[in-house]
Chain A
């Protein structure tokens, strides 16, 4: 997936859940990424975050920590 598209899609998810209180919103974004994003897409997101995650919504950045597989 093009990086720009990936960032856009992830942020769209965050924008929906951003209406909720922070913890609920974070849980919503995390759950969505885990339940609907395929492994390669999550991996692309995490790699992008590792490179600074420019342009990603704060909720996506936080959710990325939660979906990162244990080392």
Chain B
């Protein structure tokens, strides 16, 4: 293995139908029209010297190093800003060019510290490289003139430093912030010699910077530098892998020194991120080596006992014997398990296999239960497959983008940057969200329409949009006639055309001005390629599945499936939540979304696994908890999921957990669920194993082992051992063998193998004989189910109603710097941005209650009460409050209720009737939590002490 140095082509790729042939240094090259001479030269292996150019940003032409000569033309144009022309004869080197370049370098170096040997960028500095390339041997101007060498170093950001003394003001960072990230946090302040890069605020931490790392990556010197590199030095080898945070699934190079990660750098060939990153993937990987990692298996008889460290054999043997004992006493269906959306496909596949084959039941579920299960149900019902329809790059072809119930700049930041780039190019934007999320108005992006609906009114809004489409003659009739079930369409058309579904009729319920809703519907239907992107603001409702079907109806009616720039696209939450669903983690489905009652499918698994399988659906997570309280469910194996923190109605959930006789938790940390566990099996981070993740665009990407498992075993190996102890051996030697089995048994994965993934990088399922290189856009030419099926989506208000006692609606969500339950990000420096969950409340509601900024407030619902700090924000609409669930101590889910989606039991996190009042102390639940948490996490051992 070596350090992977990607080629910098200097300027971005151009795509054009016309090709241009020219000659550079006597060699002929043909490139797309619009390509720069610099990039064309790189195609011939000629690296024209450069400093201000890099292929992630548009050319700028300021450094004057990349000058070239063109026969028949005067002057020395910059090769980065000069596009190719047919027949040009270009020379990239000559005595004159050498003199000019050396002169430029003299000027740069005359105002640059000469500390190369001790500089953090030593060995990875373009300025240093260019000094060598141009043959700089002296600086005639000396070093005593006016300079910036004493400029103060900004170390405020926890992950990188800004050392202005090393800045050459090439503006690569500024342009990366604008063009790649789209935040526009950086600028060049001052003029001429006084020009400096500025983050606007008093320092980087105080600025609009979102710490995506684009500027650090673009910097050609040590000006913007990772603190980890400053501390440890440059990596000596790289491992290409996939990020373990959100569902964007960015590809990274883990740059390593032996078994230590030096930095994570976004990989340019990553098809989901194209070399971009966010603060989490780029910088927040320190949790993998955090001192809180549990590295030895542990047991305890009661959850009030301290943990006792044991051997793997003892822990696995105890778990297996307990599961067997429970089944012998309470029946085969008395145990179950939960697969992890943070683990690999191979690992989730193994867990569901062990449950179905070794436990002998279908009591398996996964975290998608509480996020995108309605996506699976709704899209399968209407289109025939349980996944988003497009690849991320499709957004580049969208003319209208409708974002519903998603906050991509926080939750899917790398895709948000991609989307914002398209919006800056002129795509129109509709935002449907109760909150004024950042995307509504952000630098150079402004939504054409923001429909600030009341939480719970999604279906009324989508029906009203469909009403406009149907009654104003905006249906794509030929498309519908050719592609869809006409009887179902006619019934749907009749339904949505009813006056009660008009924007005017539902205005009181939705809170959305009818005129805006009509205008937005017209824009969506007539704006050529219209794409819907949505998040948990769609799914986490009592009508989550209905809303997914409603969006599919609207897209079908307007012909927005089966082409670039369109589709219905879930922005999935966790890194492998798509994969965990694909792998058969639901209690009613095998891998590839095939129901357990399908005899032919079940027999294929029985034959492969050599064991009879159940044809009846098993329990969902919420059903397992109910059954535990009822006394019929007694044991559970939970791999990498913290249901006690993430799932709703904490008191109900913990009552169920406490009622079980054997809870086995496999995780990196003693998470909240582990407080109710009897067996703890130390898991492995994404850096410690091989496997695959599948992102929101169905892209299967490799996860590669960069370091050995810190606790000795990868998660898949733990499941293999547990299954063997249960009497069902699964003798895999490597995760590739598991993927081979998945491919054999799952038609949509038939063509997938590690060999293919290693060869091409990644593929999107379906990947099989019909689509050997995968399927970026689905439903081209026809829907997977045959004819698209319109579903009638009657708006049925949630039973969670506001009352005089609970007059406000709480909606919960995520923020940029923390991830899900925070188990990973809370163990990083990200806490500097978000150290506690706060309650966002509109000024009107705050004033009515005598609440000031940062006051402690009690948040009460019929399920429970917590206290947290108030943040007064006009992003909220009056009557709606918002918080996050990233910090266990807050207990946000103490307040949420058991109401859930009618079809999938996905909890209704987005609508909880609450009251808010000033408070002086923590809630009873929080006090109890603080008292008991210490006890339930106590470890008794030689290393940890008692």
Q: Which of A2, A5, A12, A18 contacts B542 (CB 8 A)?
A: A12
Chain B residue contacts of A37, Cβ below 8 A: 617
Min C-beta distance of B501 to chain A, whole Å: 12
Contacts of A35 on B, CB cut-off 8 Å? Answer: 588, 595, 597, 617
Note all chain B residues with C-beta closer than 8 A to A38.
333, 363, 587, 616-620, 623
Quick one: which of B584-603 are within 8 Å of A by CB?
587-588, 595, 597
CB of A49 to closest CB in B, whole Å? 18
Tell me, in angstroms, the Cα distance from A41 to B625 when the chains sit together: 13
Complex-state Cα separation, A34 to B595, whole angstroms: 11
Cα–Cα, bound, A31→B618 (Å): 15
Tell me how many residues of B have a C-beta within 8 Å of chain A. Answer: 30
Asked if A36 contacts B626 (CB within 8 A), the reply is no
Question: What are the residues of chain B within 8 A of A41 when measuring CB–CB?
Answer: 623
Q: A8-B799, A37-B617, A38-B618 are in contact. Are A16 and B902 (CB under 8 A)?
A: yes
A19–B616 Cα distance when bound, in Å, is: 28
Note all chain B residues with C-beta closer than 8 A to A2.
626
CB pair A9 B902 closer than 8 Å? yes
- Interface mask (A1-44 → B, CB under 8 Å = 1, otherwise 0): 11001001100110110111000000000001011111111000
With A and B bound together, what is the CA distance between A12 and B626 in angstroms? 18
A-B pairs under 8 A by CB, number: 58
Partner of B796, one of A16, A32, A40: A16
Partner of B616, one of A5, A12, A13, A39: A39
How far does the alpha carbon of A20 sit from the alpha carbon of B487 in the complex, in Å? 12
CA separation between A19 and B618, bound complex, in Å?
A: 28
B630 contacts A by Cβ under 8 Å: yes
Question: Is the Cβ of B903 less than 8 Å from the Cβ of A13?
Answer: yes
A38 to B: closest C-beta gap in Å: 5
Closest Cβ–Cβ distance, residue B719 to chain A (whole Å) = 23
User: When A8-B799, A16-B546, A39-B333 are in contact, do A32 and B623 touch as well, CB less than 8 Å?
Assistant: no
Question: Restricting to B88-146, which residues have a CB under 8 Å from any CB of A?
Answer: none
Instruction: For A19, give its contact among B363, B495, B626 (CB under 8 Å).
Output: B495
A19 partner residues in chain B, CB cutoff 8 A = 495, 792, 794
Distance (Å) between the CB of A18 and the closest chain B CB? Answer: 8
Q: Collect the chain B residues with CB atoms within 8 Å of residue A39's CB.
A: 333, 616
- Within 8 Å CB of A36, what residues of B? 588, 617, 903-904
Once bound together, how far apart are the Cα atoms of A18 and B495, in whole Å? 13
Contact with A along B352-367 (1 / 0, CB 8 A): 0000000000010000
CA distance A45 to B900 in the complex (A): 18
Q: Which A residues lie within 8 Å of B618 (CB)?
A: 38
- Shortest C-beta distance, A26 to chain B (Å), equals 15
The reply to whether B903 and A16 contact each other, CB–CB distance below 8 Å, is yes
Residue of A nearest to B596 (CB): A35
Docked pose: A2 CA to B900 CA in angstroms:
14
Residues of the B chain whose Cβ atoms lie less than 8 Å from the Cβ of A15:
794, 796, 902
Rounded to whole Å, the gap between the CB of B500 and the closest CB of chain A is 13
Partner of A16, one of B597, B794, B900: B794
Question: Which chain B residues border A20 with CB–CB below 8 Å?
Answer: 491, 792
Expressed in whole angstroms, the Cα–Cα distance for A35 and B844 within the complex equals 47
Q: Name A42's closest neighbour in chain B (CB-CB).
A: B616
The minimal Cβ–Cβ distance linking B793 to chain A, given in whole angstroms, is 8
A16 to B172, CA, bound (A): 54
- Kindly list chain A residues whose C-beta atoms are within 8 Å of the C-beta of B904: 36
Tell me the bound Cα distance from A35 to B616 in angstroms: 8
Q: Give the CA-CA distance A35 to B620 in the complex, in Å.
A: 12
Bound CA–CA A35/B792 (angstroms): 20
A38, B626: Cα distance in complex, Å = 12
The CA of A41 and the CA of B630, in the complex, are separated in Å by: 11
Contacts of B632 in A (CB 8 A): 40
* In the complex, chain B residues 355-390 whose Cβ is within 8 Å of any chain A Cβ: 363
**Are A13 and B588 also in contact (CB < 8 A) when A35-B597, A37-B617, A39-B616 are?**
no
**With the chains together, A10 CA to B911 CA distance in Å?**
20
Query: Does B627 have its Cβ within 8 Å of any Cβ on chain A?
Result: yes
Q: List the A side residues contacting B595 at CB < 8 Å.
A: 35
**Which B616-674 residues have a C-beta within 8 angstroms of A?**
616-620, 623, 626-627, 630, 632
A1 contacts across to B, CB distance below 8 A: 623, 626-627, 630
Contact with A along B400-437 (1 / 0, CB 8 A): 00000000000000000000000000000000000000
Chain A residues with Cβ below 8 Å from B902 are 9, 12-13, 15-16
Residues of A within 8 A of B792 (CB): 19-20
B898 CB–A CB distance under 8 Å: yes
B357 nearest CB across to chain A (Å): 18
Q: Which of A8, A12, A32 has the most CB of B within 10 A?
A: A12
Q: How far is the CA of A40 from the CA of B903 in the complex (A)?
A: 18
From A5, A15, A16, A18, residue with most partner B Cβ within 10 Å: A16
Inter-subunit contact B495/A32 (CB<8 Å): no
Complex CA distance for A20 and B233, rounded to whole angstroms: 67
Instruction: Provide the B219-241 mask, 1 if CB < 8 A to any CB of A, else 0.
Output: 00000000000000000000000
**Residues from chain A with Cβ under 8 Å of B587 in the complex:** 38
Q: CA A9 – CA B902 in complex, angstroms?
A: 6
Determine the distance from Cα of A35 to Cα of B796 in the docked complex, in whole angstroms.
23
Q: Once the chains are docked, how many angstroms separate the CA of A5 from the CA of B900?
A: 10
Q: When chains A and B are docked, how far (Å) is the Cα of A37 from the Cα of B587?
A: 10
Assembled-state Cα–Cα distance A40/B616 (Å): 11
Please give me the residue from chain B that is nearest to A16 by CB atom: B902
Give the distance to chain B from A42, nearest Cβ to Cβ, in Å: 9
Once bound together, how far apart are the Cα atoms of A20 and B595, in whole Å? 24
Q: Bound complex: CA of A5 vs CA of B627, how far in Å?
A: 13
Query: Which residues of the partner chain B approach A13 to less than 8 Å between Cβ atoms?
Result: 902-903
Docked CA distance A41–B626 (Å):
10
A2 to B897, CA, bound (A): 14
**Distance between A56 CB and nearest chain B CB, rounded to angstroms:** 15
Q: Which residues of A contact B630 (CB under 8 A)?
A: 1, 40
What are 25 residue pairs bridging A and B, where the CB atoms are less than 8 Å apart in the complex? Answer: A1-B626, A1-B627, A1-B630, A9-B900, A9-B902, A13-B902, A15-B794, A16-B546, A16-B796, A16-B903, A18-B794, A19-B495, A19-B794, A20-B491, A34-B597, A35-B595, A35-B617, A37-B617, A38-B333, A38-B623, A39-B333, A39-B616, A40-B627, A40-B630, A40-B632
6 smallest beta-carbon distances between A and B, as pairs: A12-B902, A1-B626, A19-B792, A19-B794, A38-B619, A15-B796
8 additional contacts, CB 8 Å, given A20-B491, A40-B333? A5-B626, A13-B902, A15-B794, A35-B617, A36-B903, A38-B623, A40-B619, A40-B630
Using a CB–CB cutoff of 8 Å, the interface residues on chain B facing chain A are 333, 363, 491, 495, 542, 546, 587-588, 595, 597, 616-620, 623, 626-627, 630, 632, 792, 794, 796, 799, 898, 900, 902-905
Name A residues whose Cβ lies closer than 8 Å to a Cβ of B: 1-2, 5, 8-9, 12-13, 15-16, 18-20, 32, 34-41
